[in-house]
Chain A
Amino acid sequence: MNEVSPRLRVNGAEHTVTVPARTSLADLLRDRLGLTGTHLGCEEGVCGACTVLVDGLPVRGCLTLAATCDGAEVVTVEGLTGADADRLRAAFSREGALQCGFCTPGMLITAYDLVRRRAAGSPEEIRAGLGGNLCRCTGYQALVRAIASAAGESAGEPGTRGGAEPGTRTGESHPRDRA
């Protein structure tokens, strides 16, 4: 079987991983790097649980071939850091925005992207922004509340847009990267 050896920077750590060419980014992250926070709910690009940031943009880990990620900067839930991520995590818990936790990593990545893009200005905008992420437990209301709350805090803090990108700290890798 054909193999590929993409070189990726995942949560700030460099990896070159040799995998069968058909391997998805999500499978590479989960099976080869031990980053099991990226969940697979459908493997057809519909549920959004596997959403990760690739070069700063949210993508479906299940539909992205690892081979296409050569040279990419990947951030998973394990490496999502910074003030906006902290605010979102706190708000998710405070507002009850998670129950079983399975959709949570994808929700968090998507919410982070909405907050960073200033695309979480109203409940309607947040609901539209979450349209690609399925949550079967919460009914979305607490998610909307949490993201609005975190977005409000983020907007109230000057200069966050220019803050450090998550997972780009040099010389650091998440402990589970080495698993």
Chain B
Amino acid sequence: MKAKPPHRDTGCGVGAGRPRREDARHLAGHGRFLADVALPGTRNVAVVRSPVPHGALRSVRAPDGVSGTDVWTAADLAPLARPLVATAALPGFRTAPLPLLAVDTVRYVGEPIALALGDTRAEAEDLARRITVDIEELPPVVGHRAALAEGAPRVHREWPDNIYATTSVTAGDVDAAARRAAVSLTREYTVGRQSPLPLETRGVLAHHDRAEDQLVVWTSTQTPDLVRDAIAELLGLPGNRVRVIVPDVGGGFGAKCTVYPEEIALAAVATRLDHPVRWVEDRAEAMVATTQGRDHHYRLTGHAAADGELLALEADIVVDAGAYSVHPWTATMDASMASAMIPGPYRVRDYRCTARSVATHSTPLGPCRGVARPAACFGIERLIDDLAHELGIEPYVMRTRAMVGPRSMPYTSVAHKVYDSGDYPEAVRRVSRLIGHQEVRARQRATDPGSRTRIGVGYGSFTEQTAHGCLEWASRGLAVTFGVESARLVMDATGSLTLGVGVQSQGQGHETTLAQVVAEVLDIAPERVAVRQGDTAYLPRGDGTFASRTMVMAGGAAYGAANLLAQRLRSVAAVLLDEPPDRLRFEGGSIVGDRGGRTLTALAREFCLTPDHVPGADGGLDVTFTYRPEVQTGAFTYGTHAAVVRVDLDTGEVELLDYAVVEDCGTVVNPLVVEGQTIGGTVQGIGTALMEELPRDSGGLPAVTTLGAYRVPRAPDVPRIRIEQLHTPSPHTVLGMKGVGESGAIPPPAAIGNAITDALREFGARMDRTPMTAARVWAALDRAAASGPSRAPAVAGARTDAPGGGAVPR
């Protein structure tokens, strides 16, 4: 469905930077998160988890004298529920059923083994500690290299190796393009494993409501209907006997859009008990048992012409997807998405890529804000900088030359993605001015060579695929092909409106922004529209909130529903005002014709309470609209980030001196909300770049199991981020909106990696893996020093002694 951009600025509809409806309850301490839900008689659950990465589970024994319903093992659950099996239609894909509780093997530290019930959390934990678990440790597969090594132990014994799936892309003629190249470079890049780290951990509260004969499951999730469907299917219940309720969700970032064993297990247990059961994940569990992100390993080759044109790319992608495939994403999502995103915003027609998802004895990989894009962006953008350096071209200038230009829009990428609109090079030019590129270069030139610090500037350009449709998910082989979103809009007898949606906020502000869309259509105050989410029994089916899809999809559905309701209101008003419907318009809370008008409040009252006054009106004031995207690969937000860093040559410490963002997410519904998404995402990306890491020791044990040990950006760690926006409405979405939830998180590792590398060009030290901790920066300097002086630049006339990069023309 197409729609014209907003025709007027009412100051309250689309485009208004309104404070959020959600704020008051949270500021009063009246938000209700999973752990705040109190149902009478609730007993608490603690989960016994595997302390080893790989082992044979010999026995699980409850202490003597404990009630049979206080301890649950795999054997107890077996008659009640089936395991989670994520499937994909990719050729050669291997399934790895995820047990609800471990049966005979444990494959990662944190894998659930048993449930212990107690009146309080503390008592449940006391009992959990008294459960005897006998595990015979087995050698673990630690890291992607070990997984692929000849003779490696197999994570899943029935497989011939440790590969979930291999996909490949061949487009054009890479070898012919390579022969035309002025420079070809091969580099290896790694983006480490990290946690999405929502501040609220996961949690589940389940009870069998015998009055309704319904299994009610409260859970902290991004995808209520997906969880409901999985519970119904795995417990063998009709969907209408399972109700999933989602209260306020304290952040998700991808950690809460997978169906988890705990959700199914607690639901199963609740069917056998006469009281509610609740599990609230503690942080130590969250660090090992909640899905983790990234862990991408690339070998990339780029071929470029002398003028900076990017001719061809080759990519060998390996993703360590952990021990199991999670539903519905499977273990292949990151690798397949990376293969499509590595060409980035560039005009590449010749591309060859192999992507392997491998199994190791680590926590299953799941979505993490940006999914594969931050890693793909790090890879291609670091490569672009190194190519530019070899060519003697300013990296930002090379970007503008190699990018898809505005006149090529819409542009179908080599990976068959439709880049719908915008001016990619302009974002680069704008951000280079915003960051003060020439001033940074001047400061570099003025740097005393004897100084023990260097500064550098770097860029990261990105596209953000948002709000993709069913075919896009089908192309990745998923069993659940998301891509449809519904909204139900009801006007009641008081003239207030309720918009029901199946998406689920984790802080994005849906209650505000979706109301603004309705307000825009009906020209009413958004406060008149209550937005309801998170109840599968009473709200329209939805896919949930992830993949930067909500504003486009649920916003599109809200827009459609508001227009349907407008039709109904016109039909009612036509009778009451005795004017043809097409002469009626919405103005300031009223519906107005040539001869008079009626407030919507009066109209609703008359229609709802005395429908006999409105003979012949067409339908009720209760409508549902289902949105499907017009173009299946979605709407592409894009932009470029720029960072300025200071690097301490003695310690490797990196200080972020400045950070600037230029991005284009099309029509903005609420600038305050969009700014929050962009800056919040950017700071998460800064965490990916410089701090966040979940390393394992050589024995496969997680080295970070507490929040205190996990370095994550805090207020003093980040500079003020400056943002400029371009506004190119998408031609393919309602109102021209594009998604923006993930964009900020995508380019910071690239921009910062390039800035550090720029600072250290004279030493030849390159940043090739995240997080770029002081130790890694120092080690890169040390390696560069050991391998001798920096190579002579590839282009004649460039100076090796120039600060900030020998090959940069002055």
Chain A residues with CB below 8 A from B20, complex form? 93, 96, 98
Q: Which residues of B contact A102 (CB under 8 A)?
A: 31, 33, 198-200, 248, 250-251, 507
A49 contacts partner chain B, Cβ-Cβ < 8 Å:
yes
Residues of B close to A41: CB separation below 8 A: 199-201, 250, 283, 707
Least distance between B505 CB and chain A CB atoms (Å):
8
The smallest C-beta distance from B351 to any residue of chain A, in angstroms, reads 34
Within the assembled complex, what's the spacing in Å between the Cα atoms of A43 and B721? 31
- Asked if residues B715 and A143 are in contact (CB atoms below 8 Å), the reply is yes
**Do A98 and B29 have beta carbons less than 8 Å apart?**
no
Total interface residues on A, CB under 8 Å, equals 57
Task: Enumerate B683-729 residues with CB–CB distance to A below 8 Å.
Answer: 683-684, 706-708, 712-716, 718, 720-721
A29-87 contacts to B, CB under 8 A, are 30-31, 34-47, 49, 76-78
B22–A101 CB distance below 8 A: yes
Q: Determine the residue in chain A with the shortest Cβ distance to B676.
A: A96
B715 touching A126 by the CB < 8 A rule?
A: yes
Of the candidate stretches A103-111, A150-158, A164-172, the one touching chain B is A103-111
Partner of B673, one of A42, A76, A96, A144: A96
Residue B50 at the chain A interface, CB threshold 8 Å: no
Q: Which residues of B contact A138 (CB under 8 A)?
A: 676, 679-680, 683
Q: Is B707 a contact of A140 with CB atoms below 8 Å? A: no
Q: Given that A76-B29, A92-B27, A99-B509 are known contacts, is A139 also in contact with B680, CB under 8 Å in the complex?
A: yes
CA distance A41 to B23 in the complex (A): 19
Per-residue interface assignment for chain A, residues 134 to 163, with 1 indicating a CB less than 8 Å from any chain B CB and 0 otherwise: 111111111110000000000000000000
Q: Tell me, in angstroms, the Cα distance from A132 to B200 when the chains sit together.
A: 17
Closest chain-A Cβ to B491's Cβ sits at a distance in Å of 27
**CA gap between A20 and B120 in the complex, in Å:** 11
Smallest CB-CB separation from A132: which chain B residue? Answer: B714
Q: Tell me the minimal C-beta distance from B660 to chain A in angstroms.
A: 13
A178 within 8 A of partner (CB): no
**Is A93 touching B33 in the complex (CB atoms < 8 A)?**
no
A35 to B248, CA, bound (A): 16
State the CA gap A44–B708 with chains docked (Å).
8
Taking the complex as formed, is A121 at the interface, i.e. its CB lies under 8 A from any CB of chain B?
no
Provide the bound-state CA to CA distance between A141 and B283, in Å.
26
Contact for A140 among B25, B715, B744, CB less than 8 A: B715
Total chain B interface residues with beta-carbon distance under 8 A: 57
**B429 on the A face (CB < 8 A):** no
B35 adjacent to chain A (CB < 8 Å): yes
Closest chain-B Cβ to A3's Cβ sits at a distance in Å of 13
Q: B715 and A99: CB pair below 8 A?
A: no
Whole-angstrom distance between the Cβ of A94 and the nearest chain B Cβ: 6
Q: A31-B120, A43-B283 are in contact. Are A37 and B30 (CB under 8 A)?
A: yes
B200 touches A141 (CB 8 A): no
Q: At the interface, yes or no: B682 with Cβ under 8 Å from chain A?
A: yes
**Measured between C-beta atoms, what is the minimum distance from A91 to chain B in Å?**
10
Contacts of A78 in B (CB 8 A): 28-30
**Is B36 a contact of A136 with CB atoms below 8 Å?**
no
Whether, in the assembled complex, B273 has its beta carbon less than 8 Å from a beta carbon of chain A, the answer is: no
Q: Are B716 and A44 in contact, CB atoms less than 8 angstroms apart?
A: no
Chain A residue nearest to B27 (CB atoms) is A89
Closest A residue to B722 using CB positions: A141
Which residues from chain B contact A135 at a C-beta distance below 8 Å? 199, 715
The 3 A-B pairs with the shortest beta carbon distances in the complex, nearest first, are A37-B29, A100-B507, A102-B250
- Residues of chain A touching chain B, judged by Cβ–Cβ distance below 8 Å, are 20, 22-23, 30-31, 34-47, 49, 76-78, 89, 92-94, 96, 98-105, 108, 123-124, 126-128, 130-144
Given pairs A36-B29, A98-B22, A130-B715, 10 additional interface contacts (CB within 8 A): A22-B122, A43-B283, A101-B507, A102-B250, A105-B29, A126-B715, A128-B716, A136-B198, A136-B712, A139-B721
